[in-house]
Structure 1
């Protein structure tokens, strides 16, 4: 009894660093939160101060609890006919979890919260909103639909929150997010995400001005022993093809390569685009048509010297014995991280290099993989001779400035623009790196 009381007292002192009310500290302790997470310690004062932020942290880092606590501290409950807080979530399940978090931590408070998650009729939701609500939790598409029916009044909005912004962008819901944010006018904006990238910035640039970027990495103490990793960040599919062709020109280094891609149709398309004058050099595992270069058995590829590159579909292939394959290329990042992890775990003393090609839309999966292995993938510079296919930028898009947590508002240009000093046009490619590794090993 005394031990528990002492533990509760010590945890309360720790939670007091967040400058929460005594009632919220008690609610946090009762819910099992014994100390603040790093993301909470670094963002809470800014949230309570009304600043705009982009908070980047991995899954499980405490992002949701952060803004729930911030809103419970800031809100003054009145019977207004318009919500004070709008929280946009990726789907119904996420919205229900957010509402449950609010209810759990707002004990003994008259909290008016409503979900617009596509589970009821529009007219019924409009009628319920007219009765008065403090907080609305909604999917972007549903919130926009209710807004267009004049049912969602944003005139008194104090805080606009985007939960899991990278997933919302991946699902293609940038337009309703930006429209709702612009319609809300002047208010605080809180963006929470696992990763940041150009497409996310294109969405937030439409309504954010000088937000503070706060990044938290929490990999934990354990690291999985894995093969050598290199991550290539590319803008689109065609640049991936150009990069793969460039690397494979060095047939002395890349003497046996397995290229993983998500679907069988994509594998067929990629294998055809890698045609070589050498018969059987490039092939596909279990080709779709009998007249295409390929192998029905993976072991046959391993035993065939002239077969240098094999394109493998993640779709229905199952586990493969990759022993003896020195180079693995993840042309696409698998949706199921377990597929990726099973291939890169180090099993013996063989020198193996795994290359991953990732676009903005795949960085979310990359982050989950990094969390699983307890370390970041090393980012490699693109070889200087790779043709980078540029995506066209929308005309008239303003790039509002983003400042790092430690910087002041007067800092440089947009965070996502490379500084000139960092725009390298040289690269020690994987071929040179592999050769140096082998030279060191045998010297």
Structure 2
């Protein structure tokens, strides 16, 4: 077992084992700054350059929040991605950490019929990875329960500056009463900052 510097040694033991198996010995500067803040449960804007560890941070903090437990049928974590291709990439990345565990990860996108998504989600999931349009359609059709949602993360959130994605995000979050939001991006775009007036109130900004 590798000896971890903070904040890895504060993560769930199964995450520490996974990191050791991937030979990831110590956190990046971004992970040192962001993981303790995200673990506290507050809303966070996390901005850092490409290849600084944002995606791994998203995965680690999501899995740590869910404690590697499968609970109920409704998703307790949502991850929003720009498009189908990126959603599938994130799904594969999550599976590397969740295989041989009880956690159920599901990926949806607009190319997959919404009725199929509804029926598969109904069977029970813990983490839902989706695109803005697909997620919004599910919400409007009551295709996914948000009653147990704990953490909502957005990967490479720059795509939310597009009007359609921005509107979809606002529509989605209007239905969620209580949840932690974490937005990852390379830069803080003025459109992203507008979310502070909606669901990102009292948010912490972490920059690298």
Pairing 1:157-168 to 2, within 5 Å after superposition: 157-168=149-160
Partner of 2:35: 44
1:152 aligns with 2:144: yes
Partner of 1:173: 165
Question: Secondary structure in 2 aligned to 1:126?
Answer: helix
Out of 38, 45, 51, the position equivalent to 1:54 is 45
1:96-120 residue CA offsets vs partner (Å, 9 max, x unmatched): 1111121112243111111112232
> Is the Cα contact below 8 Å between 1:92 and 1:118 reproduced in 2?
yes
1:124 aligns with 2:128: no
Query: CA separation of 1:70/1:124 partners in 2, compared to 1, >3 Å: closer, same or farther?
Result: same
Query: CA separation of 1:103/1:72 partners in 2, compared to 1, >3 Å: closer, same or farther?
Result: same
Distance in 2 separating the partners of 1:82 and 1:134: 7
1:100 aligns with 2:110: no
Pairing 1:75-224 to 2, within 5 Å after superposition: 75-76=66-67, 77-170=69-162, 172-216=164-208
Partner of 1:20: 11
> Is the Cα contact below 8 Å between 1:15 and 1:25 reproduced in 2?
no
Superposition deviation, residue 205 in structure 1: 2.7
Distance in 2 separating the partners of 1:88 and 1:204: 18
Distance in 2 separating the partners of 1:138 and 1:72: 17
1:161-186 residue CA offsets vs partner (Å, 9 max, x unmatched): 11111123247410111111121111
Distance in 2 separating the partners of 1:47 and 1:106: 20
Report which of the two has the higher share of helix.
2
Out of 18, 21, 27, the position equivalent to 1:30 is 21
Superposition deviation, residue 16 in structure 1: 5.3
Pairing 1:256-405 to 2, within 5 Å after superposition: none
> Is the Cα contact below 8 Å between 1:27 and 1:106 reproduced in 2?
no
CA RMSD of aligned residues (A): 1.7
Structure having the higher Rg? 1
1:104-163 residue CA offsets vs partner (Å, 9 max, x unmatched): 122431111111122321111111111111110010110011111110111221111111
Structure 2 unaligned spans of 5+: none
> Is the Cα contact below 8 Å between 1:117 and 1:139 reproduced in 2?
yes
1:260-293 residue CA offsets vs partner (Å, 9 max, x unmatched): xxxxxxxxxxxxxxxxxxxxxxxxxxxxxxxxxx
Question: Secondary structure in 1 aligned to 2:184?
Answer: strand
Distance in 1 separating the partners of 2:65 and 2:159: 27
Moved >3 Å (runs of 4+): none
Question: Secondary structure in 2 aligned to 1:13?
Answer: coil
- How many pairs were matched up? 206
Distance in 2 separating the partners of 1:22 and 1:154: 28
